[in-house]
Amino acid sequence: MLGFADNLTAWGYILSILAAILCVIYGLINWNKGTETEEDYRRTVEWEREEIEVEEKLP
């Protein structure tokens, strides 16, 4: 299949491409699902404060 010597290898090749297509479809379908809520925003702001402190300690 596809010029490969065995089908197992050919399927690895095909499934890699199909997996990438799955990712594209999933991304498109869920593009706007799970957008930011008030709760998300509040928690992110709290979390970011500490994150800045962590980063400031790096060289």
Partner 1 sequence: MFVNILLVILYLVVIFYLGYKGWRETRTASDYMIAGRQINPYVMAMSYGATFISTSAIVGFGGAAALFGFSVIWLTFLNIFVGIFIAFVFFGKRTRKMGRNLDAHTFPEILGLRFESRFIQGFSGLVIFVFLPVYAAAVLIGISRFIEVYLNIPFGYGLLGFSIILALYVIWGGLKGVMYTDALQGTLMFIMMAILVIFTYSQLGGIVKAHQTLTSMANLVPAKLKALGHMGWTASPKGGSPLWWIVYSTIVYGVGIGVLAQPQLAVRFMTVKNDASLNRAVLVGGIFILAMTGIAFTVGPLTNAVFFQKFGKISIAMAKGNIDKIIPLYIDKVMPSWFATLFLLAMLAAAMSTLSSQYHVGGTSLGRDFYEKSLGRTGGGEITATRLGVGLTILFTIGWGLFLPPSIIAIATAFFFGLCSSTFLPMYFSALYWKRATKAGAIASMVGGFIASFFWLIFIHKKEAAAIGICKALTGKVTLLGFPWNVIDPNVIALPVSIILIIVVSLATSRMREEHLEKCFEWM
Binding site for partner 1 (CB under 8 A): 2-6, 8-9, 12-13, 15-17, 19-24, 26-28, 30-37, 39-40, 43-52, 54-55, 57-59
What is the enclosing helix (H) or strand (E) of 14? helix 7-29
Work out how close the CB of 11 gets to partner 1 at its nearest, in angstroms, rounded to a whole number: 9
Work out how close the CB of 14 gets to partner 1 at its nearest, in angstroms, rounded to a whole number: 9
Tokens of 40: 């998300």
Q: Three-state DSSP class for 56? A: helix
Residues 6+ apart with CB under 8 A from 7: 1
Work out how close the CB of 31 gets to partner 1 at its nearest, in angstroms, rounded to a whole number: 6
